[in-house]
Copies of this chain bind each other. A is one copy, B any other.
């Protein structure tokens, strides 16, 4: 059915080797031979079989990227940064989203290994580092995204979430809030845990500040709305006067619950701050204060590190890149 080099070679009256050379090193072939082969290719509608190419080459020209949630604009921005850097080297990004599910995460890792990817970018959900070690021991470079390896054994590109979390809460405290709620979860997600840790530290700095944790089962708008409704339905004296959400999606959900489905005022009754500073943050019901992360740059840098590690082979030295988060103040915390 499919046309192969062999048939192209026959049609152009040359050998298969020459067809391959036309495809890969045209300068090594006489001009009119090139023309003849190209004509045959066009005529027959020949399309290179990538599987055969890869089989011979030993590895593919793609890089696997496993993210926690594609619906989070933060991650699509990371993906685009990665894609841009990969394209510079003629590579492709294979995107998988784990939805914070360890099984899916592992399934994607397996898939990527079978595909013989050039490397894997991952924001690992669980602390399944052994699985990553194993991948690396098989020659697959691994770079952690938005997360650092506890023992620095992996290269990583991250933003200090503890600092970011502290920034958020410190800002709330400085604007006079005292009873703070942290909305986020599950705590198995490292980013969530770190932001909470930062929040705790910042809260502890000022006497009289309390930090309550409202655990959610995920980090979507829907889960944020549920958490917001729970808070809204409390007696006023039990409500916090400020909420720090583990990401902007949650914050948007909380906003919906407090304002649209309830009648609380933000920041009048409750101040609100999110995390990531996605595009929608500044266009939400009440423009959202947030902690900004350089998403595109994170993706770009991660691929850069990966390619370097792939080039250097086994004598790589894991490298940790860390960006700093940045506080963006908008109305939701009462500018």
Q: Which residues of A contact B (CB under 8 A)?
A: 1-2, 45, 47-55, 58, 60, 70-71, 73, 76-77, 79-80, 92, 94-95, 110-111, 113-116, 134, 137-139, 221, 252-253, 255-256, 260, 279-280, 282-287
Is the CB–CB distance between B284 and A47 below 8 Å?
A: no
A252-B280, A260-B283, A287-B260 are contacts. A60–B70 as well, Cβ < 8 Å? no
| Residue of A73, A252, A279 with highest tally of chain B CB at under 10 A | A279
A50-B116, A138-B45, A287-B285 are contacts. A79–B73 as well, Cβ < 8 Å? no
Across-interface contacts of A139 in B (CB, < 8 A): 1-2
Q: How close is A281's CB to chain B, nearest CB, in angstroms?
A: 10
What CA separation (Å) do A285 and B330 show in the bound complex?
12
Q: Which of B47, B113, B280, B282 contacts A113 (CB 8 A)?
A: B47
What CA separation (Å) do A134 and B3 show in the bound complex?
14
A70-B76, A70-B80 are contacts. A252–B116 as well, Cβ < 8 Å? no
The 4 residue pairs across chains A and B that have the minimum distance between CB atoms: A51-B54, A50-B114, A51-B55, A280-B280
Is the CB–CB distance between B76 and A221 below 8 Å?
A: no
Across-interface contacts of A55 in B (CB, < 8 A): 49, 51-52, 55
Is the CB–CB distance between A114 and B260 below 8 Å?
A: no
Is the CB–CB distance between A60 and B51 below 8 Å?
A: yes
Q: How close is A320's CB to chain B, nearest CB, in angstroms?
A: 27
Across-interface contacts of A255 in B (CB, < 8 A): 283
Across-interface contacts of A138 in B (CB, < 8 A): 2, 45, 47
What CA separation (Å) do A138 and B110 show in the bound complex?
31
What CA separation (Å) do A78 and B165 show in the bound complex?
33
Across-interface contacts of A95 in B (CB, < 8 A): 95
